[in-house]
Amino acid sequence: MNQCPVTKQPKMPETLMDRLKSETAAAHDRTEAIPFNECIIDGTMPQGRYAGQLECWGRVHAALESSLDSSQDPFVKMVWPGTTKRAPLISADLAWHGEADAPEEARAATTDMVQWVETVASEDPVKLLGILYVLEGSTLGGMILRKHLSELYGIEGDEGLAYYSAHGRNVMPNWKLFKARMNEGVPCPDAQRRVVEAASETFDRLGQVLLGLSQGLVTAGG
Residue ranges per domain, the chain? 45-213
If we measure between CA atoms, which residue out of 122, 121, 129 comes closest to residue 192? 129
Q: What Rg do the C-alpha atoms of the chain give, in angstroms?
A: 19
> Considering the domain 45-213, what is its CATH architecture?
Up-down Bundle (1.20)
Q: How many CB atoms lie within 10 A of CB 99?
A: 10
At 11 the pLDDT is 55
Distance, CA of 52 to CA of 214 (rounded, Å): 10
At 219 the pLDDT is 77
- Rounded percentage of the chain residues whose pLDDT exceeds 70: 93
At 54 the pLDDT is 97
At 3 the pLDDT is 47
At 104 the pLDDT is 98
At 143 the pLDDT is 82
Cβ atoms of 36 and 46 closer than 8 Å: no
Q: Is 47 helix (H, G, I), strand (E, B) or coil?
A: helix
At 158 the pLDDT is 80
- Within the chain, which residues score under 50 in pLDDT? 1-7, 9-10
Distance, CA of 186 to CA of 79 (rounded, Å): 8
